[in-house]
Amino acid sequence: MQAFLRAAELMKKKDELLKVWAEQIRDLSYDIEDSLDEFKVHIESQTLFRQLVKLRERHRIAIRIHNLKSRVEEVSSRNTRYNLVEPISSGTEDDMDSYAEDIRNQSARNVDEAELVGFSDSKKRLLEMIDTNANDGPAKD
């Protein structure tokens, strides 16, 4: 019974560490997203001449990215040190396939169609085919 209570206490501590670690990951991801948005706005709002003049601003952004990278490495090493999250490879192959499918589905939902590259010609041809079929009736083989 004492061994069970000790094990339960260890699991509780690990669960609390996992919650703190997940919160740190969430905060870090928000900081990274904010930095990327700031950098994107900075780049898009500048003419070529102003981009060259603003090297100090670009240096500041580079330092910020370096600091974020250091924070990512710290959080990752914390997981390794406390063994908070098991590696995915320890799961079954079905679990890994399911995880990969979830990632693909989430990625597809987060894509801004306006930012897709290389599909404009295909999209245009497809729309022309749809428009032609709508005007002429079903396509004839």
Is 19 a member of any domain?
Answer: yes
Q: Which of 32, 43, 42 is nearest to 67 (CA)?
A: 32
Kindly provide the b/e burial profile for residues 13-28, where b requires at least 16 CB atoms within 10 angstroms of the residue's own CB. eeeeeeeebeeebeee
Is 121 a member of any domain?
Answer: yes
**pLDDT tens readout for residues 25-37:** 888 888 988 888 8
**pLDDT score, position 67:** 92
> The pTM is what?
0.47
Computed over every residue of the chain, the mean pLDDT equals 72
Is 141 a member of any domain?
Answer: no
Distance CA 141, CA 137 (A): 12
Average pLDDT over every residue of 38-52 = 71
Average pLDDT over every residue of 30-47 = 80
Distance CA 28, CA 104 (A): 22
Is 9 a member of any domain?
Answer: yes
Contact call for residues 75 and 24 (beta carbons, < 8 A): yes
C-alpha gyration radius of the chain: 25
Q: How many domains does the chain have?
A: 1
Is 89 a member of any domain?
Answer: yes
Contacts of residue 132, defined as CB under 8 A and 6 or more positions apart, other chains included, come to: none
Q: Which domain holds residue 132?
A: 2-136
Distance CA 106, CA 110 (A): 6
Is 68 a member of any domain?
Answer: yes
